[in-house]
Structure 1
Amino acid sequence: MTTPHLGRASVVLFSGGRGGAGIARSLLRVPDVDLSVVINGYDNGQSTGALRRYLPEMLGPSDFRKNLLLHLHGDDPRHAALKGVLDHRLPVRATRRDLDDLVDGLARGKVYGMLPPRARAAVVRDLSVLTGALDARPGLELGDCALGNLVFAGAYLRLGRDFNAAVRSCAEVFESPVRLVNVTGGENAFLVALKKDGRILADEADIVAPQDAVAISDLFLLDRPLTPQRRAVLEALPDEHRRRALARGGAEISLNPEARDAIMHADLIVYGPGTPHSSLLPSYLTPGVADAIAAARAVAKVFVVNIKDDHDVQGLDARALVGRTLHYLGDPRNERRTVTHVLCHGGPAGAGPVATADSEDPGDPGDPGDGSGTGARWVTADLEDPRRPGAHSGDRTVAALARIVGETSLLGAG
């Protein structure tokens, strides 16, 4: 892997739970790279949804938990134990007794015996905080809960219900070398989407689920979950009234100062691959994030196109998704150079999703949300992991990013 232009660089990767994981792991192998992974907490599926119902003011910890795995390798016994705690799931029909037995086993060193002592003490401490809360107020659905999510919940309660403090605490406990950053100030919000035909996807779980060919047209961050009754009322309204009503229910969120600092001082900003309408685009709705990107010193701001489409991109191609990114960042014509490059896969067997390799997109004025006429440079390279069809090779993608940075730096110097 050739990465001479990334040495000592500060990199910001907008990501979700797993979409950008391969790229992040490869960036961590570049000497002296300072990596910040910026994500949101709107996930509410499975065990995360159970936690958010039990603690309705808390964001979802699942994607943060997944990003704590980036540096952990199973061939290191300490890492294997840390990974085991994060990924451990309670039985499908788990009871409070199952959780108590697990906490007791951890405290006695009988479970995940190679856990570093400080990490073991911290995990037991935070799980004990959660079990204490359950003593006072039962009701958490424990079936199939990820233990790492429960550690997050305990840290959240211990730290005065400060979600971002819990993120920092867990990053320290699990020895993460990544600057893991929630994009917002920690305010709670619930993600809702609107399809072009007016139908509502009521939460993040609906957005990422298999769906029909009608494209998603709008995203909203609400201050409370959308109930079935409220959804029915909204869907009975005319389209524009429905859109305005959803906008009126918007949550008040702010940009996390840690995210602002990371973005402003980044040498490279990467809009990573992932599930666009849950993992990526909602982060760009955060007030202040667009201004931070515009003011950043980054020489390159690169949109990485998914190799394989997720369920939520029905009816949308790569150009449209670039357009959505620019739209949600308030720069539909890319006049602030919010996206300088679009990096997409085109293997040796043929063209990738976009056939304009190493060329500036001349575009067409068209719809300001369709990605046309943005002036971003489209770069095609072989980015696919040969062992995992449809997934990015971290090393190949990072090498392509390094070339983009090097070429852009030389052009700037010239």
Structure 2
Amino acid sequence: MTTNQKTLATPLRVIVFTGGRGSSSISNQLVGVAGVKLQFIINGYDNGLSTGEVRRFLGDSLGPSDFRKNASRLALLLASCQPELITLLDLRLPDPCSDAEALTYLGGIDSVNLADGAIAQSTFGDTLKINLDALTKETRKALAARVEQFLSFKRAESRSFKFADCSLGNIIFAGSYLLRKRKFNAAVADYCALLGLPDDLILNVTDGKNAFLVAKNTDGGILQGEEDIVDANRRNKIDNIYLLSQSDAAKLGQLKVLKDRALKLSPKVKECIAGADLIVYSPGTQHSSLFPSYMTPGLGELLAANTRALKLLITNIHEDSEIAGAAATDIIQKARYYLQEKNTKSLPEPALITHYIINRPEQNTASDNYIPEGEIERIEDPRQVRISNFEDGASGQHDTGKVLLPFIDMARRQKHKPRVAVVCLDTTSINKIVQTIREMQRAKIELYPCDVTVFYSSNREISDSLVAESDLSLCYVAPSTDGETNNQQLVAKAVASDHDFVCMFESSGMYFGSDIVALVANLNQEKVDAVWGSRRLSLTDIHQSYRYRYRSHLLKGSVSYIGSHVLSLAYLVCYGRYISDTLSGLKLVKTEHLDRSSDWIDDPSANQYLLARLLRSDGRSFEVPVDFLPMSPDQVSRTGAMDGIRALRVIVMQRIRAIFSSNG
């Protein structure tokens, strides 16, 4: 595999901080994006309903609920296991449900023949039986092994367990926890493996040490856990959150000061954040699912250390009970507070979050449930803010196409090194070609984020040792013998290759190879279609050139000077863009704008056809000054008066054709 192929094959690594279901629309759509390696970072501080019962039963475990919900959703989207397994794990035992009934249901998981009445005849029992019957023998044995771990612990410790309305998945997860020697992160990987998911797809933010989430309201009241925090009847106004040790949580009412437990980041989370290209702070239940992850010691510093990644904070669209009365800017302020470990760190905000995504609903939307934008001026740098209608009209959730896909494209451009084909035109001189390469090397082209191949034609090949230290590649094209010119053959070869850009370099000796580097340096801009080398922007060189070329022909010089400005003004009139040097012999153009048929390259008006195509497509182009060496007309061909008139005609005619084609 070549270096270019390796670059293309490397997936974009996207990290999503998420909770249980709040960001499901985003994660659901991200799964379908090709060339993306997704990883979800979650915390285990949930203690509501059956998750809270599992934590009480096990005694020292974090909560499995959000991990289980994400695993089910992703397994369904990825089709990583039988759909009946997902349905079974999401089933909840009846309410009420006695121990005897629960043991009957659980005991039937590994039953060979469920028709023998091992499972009680009920709606739940029928559903359980249908899904169990569809599973493979190996899958049922794996489930039964984890159920047995759970039941064995229950018998050995004589512990009670409230089975009513308990998710079967939570019981299986508890079995995984016991099977993996009470190592929570290993239990997450074990549970994901049951569903055919990679062990690094869903990660716990910490090393698995147990902790309990509590919150303090602005009135001083204490909210004991996630269930109270998200209680829709409360409309909480939360001042701060804390992660307590088990002993502190047990005596919460006696504590005068709430103190966070010393937690550690998961080693796998450290690894995935360090290598991430795009990091997404999802919308959702902020105080229960997201802020607790952000406050993990060392996380903010780790995020700041990744200077390559784009980092998006997506604020909620709709108000929730735990952010009652909050604006989008309040969510942003709190996220920064927790990422700074409650302002105990002094990390630059752009190092933690590069972009803030704030929804602005349509003006005719009749709802008072939308979160207001807030005081946008509180965000110091407006370059970080994106405000628009990001809502999907059908679901009321975020539209990933509007929110994330532009940033995925941006991250891909940052990650992918552009491949540039430098075509040495108008020469077969080995000395001129080598001089061009040497000038590129002296300008340190290897320091720029691109892969460069020099296409040349000569009577002999250049040794690869010449470019070994500068990370350039060479592509030799034997001189044409079949009627094609060397220029046509070189351009056709470059366009047909897998390069993103083609740099057409007039190699007569008038231009300098170092200016190829000046053009390449602009490829770090967003959505570049062309970089045009302009001699007219180098005023000293252009005046010297006119003096040298027309020192004995003042009238010709005046005509040439005026004519070049006329061509530039023609573009301003026809396309609204002033092109200072329409006849440049040095330009870098995105390959998709070039015809595979290379006949055009030797046409005196080749630049005009190319510029017309670029400007018609609204391509984004830059002009940069380039140095050049005035040369005698005896040494190089010049653009004559008739060539200039023909070029003007091409500019106008191309514009007229574009108008007629757009009208029908």
Bin the TM-score by the shorter chain. 0.7 to 0.9
SS state of the match for residue 122, structure 1?
helix
The aligned counterpart of 2:11 is: 8
Q: Which residue, 132, 143, 147 being the options, matches 2:164? A: 143
What displacement does 1:213 show? 5.2
Does the Cα contact within 8 Å between 1:301 and 1:341 map onto a contact in 2? yes
Aligned identity (percent) is 32
Alignment of 1:131-210 (within 5 A): 131-136=151-156, 137-177=158-198, 179-210=201-232
Equivalent pair of 1:188/1:251 in contact (CA under 8 Å): no
Q: How much does 1:7 deviate?
A: 8.3
- Deviation, 1:192, is 0.8
1:70 has 2:181 as partner = no
Q: Distance in 1 between matches of 2:355 and 2:339?
A: 16
Name the residue aligned to 1:246: 258
Counterpart CA distance in 1 for 2:302 and 2:220 is 33
Q: State the match for 1:367 in structure 2.
A: none
Q: Work out whether residues 264 and 296 of structure 1, in 8 Å CA contact, stay in contact via their aligned partners in 2.
A: yes
1:239-318 equivalent positions in 2, closer than 5 A: 242=256, 245-247=257-259, 250-318=260-328
Distance 1:61 1:383, change over 3 A: same
Q: Give the C-alpha shift of residue 283 in structure 1.
A: 0.4
Structure 1 residues 32, 120: closer, same or farther in 2, change over 3 A?
farther
Change (3 A) 1:92 1:7: farther
Pairwise CA distance, 1:402: 2.6
| Alignment check: 8 A CA contact 2:212 2:249 kept | no
Check whether the contact 1:7–1:33 (CA below 8 A) recurs between aligned residues. Answer: no
**Maintained 8 Å contact 1:293/1:338:** yes
Largest Rg, 1 or 2: 2
Q: Aligned runs of 1:2-401 on 2, under 5 Å?
A: 8-73=11-76, 79-108=82-111, 110=114, 111=129, 112=131, 113-136=133-156, 137-177=158-198, 179-210=201-232, 212=234, 215-224=237-246, 230-231=252-253, 233-234=254-255, 242=256, 245-247=257-259, 250-330=260-340, 334-335=348-349, 337-349=351-363, 363-364=377-378, 372-373=379-380, 377-389=384-396, 391-401=397-407
Counterpart AA for 1:87: D
User: Residue 72 of structure 2 aligns to a residue in which SS?
Assistant: coil
8 Å Cα contact 1:65-1:149 kept in structure 2: yes
- Distance in 2, matches of 1:15 and 1:77, equals 21
In structure 2, relative to structure 1, the CA distance for the partners of 1:77 and 1:96 (3 Å cut) is farther
Q: What is the one-letter code of the residue matched to 1:33? A: V
Structure 2 segments unaligned to the other structure (5+ residues): 1-7, 115-128, 417-521, 526-664
Distance 1:149 1:355, change over 3 A: closer
Take 1:383 and 1:158, find their aligned partners in 2: how far apart are those partners? 44
- Following TM superposition, by how much is the alpha carbon of 1:166 offset from its aligned partner in structure 2, in angstroms? 0.2
CA distance in 1, matches of 2:18, 2:267: 18
Deviation per CA, 1:5-39, whole angstroms, max 9, x where unpaired?
99821010000001122211211111131111000
Q: Which amino acid aligns with 1:363?
A: E
Following the alignment from structure 1 to structure 2, what is the Cα–Cα distance between the partners of residues 7 and 378? Answer: 29
Q: RMSD of the TM alignment (CA)?
A: 3.1
Q: Could you say which residue in structure 1 is the equivalent of 2:524? A: 413
* Deviation at residue 55 of structure 1 after TM alignment: 1.5
- Measured after TM superposition, the shift of residue 348 of structure 1 is 4.9
Tell me how far 1:384 sits from its aligned partner: 2.4
- Per the TM alignment, residue 314 of structure 1 is displaced from its structure 2 partner at its CA by 2.0
Match of 2:126 in 1: none
Contiguous gaps of at least 5 residues in structure 1: 235-241, 365-371
The aligned amino acid for 2:182 is R
- The secondary structure found in structure 2 opposite 1:51 is helix
Q: Which structure ranks higher in relative contact order (CA pairs < 8 Å, sequence separation ≥ 6)?
A: 1
Work out the CA distance in 2 between the residues paired with 1:412 and 1:349: 39
Look up the equivalent residue of 1:271 and give its one-letter code: Y
Deviates more, 1:117-126 or 1:183-192: 117-126
Contact conserved, 2:18 with 2:284, CA < 8 A, in 1?
yes
Contact map agreement 2:80 2:195 (CA 8 A) in 1:
no
Which amino acid in the other structure matches residue 31 of structure 1? A
Question: CA 1:40/1:214 → structure 2, altered by over 3 Å: closer, same or farther?
Answer: closer
Residues 269 and 301, structure 1, Cα contact 8 Å, conserved in 2: yes
Following the alignment from structure 2 to structure 1, what is the Cα–Cα distance between the partners of residues 135 and 331? 42
State how far apart, in whole Å, the 2-side matches of 1:341 and 1:222 are. Answer: 32
- Of 219-228 and 9-18, deviating more is 219-228
Contact 2:329–2:376 under 8 Å retained in 1: no
Task: Name the aligned partner's letter for residue 101 of structure 1.
Answer: T
Question: Structure 1 CA distance, aligned partners of 2:387 and 2:282?
Answer: 15
AA aligned to 1:187 is K
CA distance in 2 between partners of 1:26 and 1:251 (Å):
36
Distance in structure 1 (CA, Å) of the matches to 2:328 and 2:25: 20
**Contact 1:326/1:334 (<8 A) preserved:** no
What amino acid maps onto 1:209 in structure 2? D
What's the offset of the Cα at 1:77?
Answer: 11
**Structure 1 residues 316 and 348 mapped into 2: Cα distance closer, same or farther (>3 Å)?**
closer
* Higher relative helix content: 2
Taking structure 2 as the reference length, the TM-score comes to 0.54
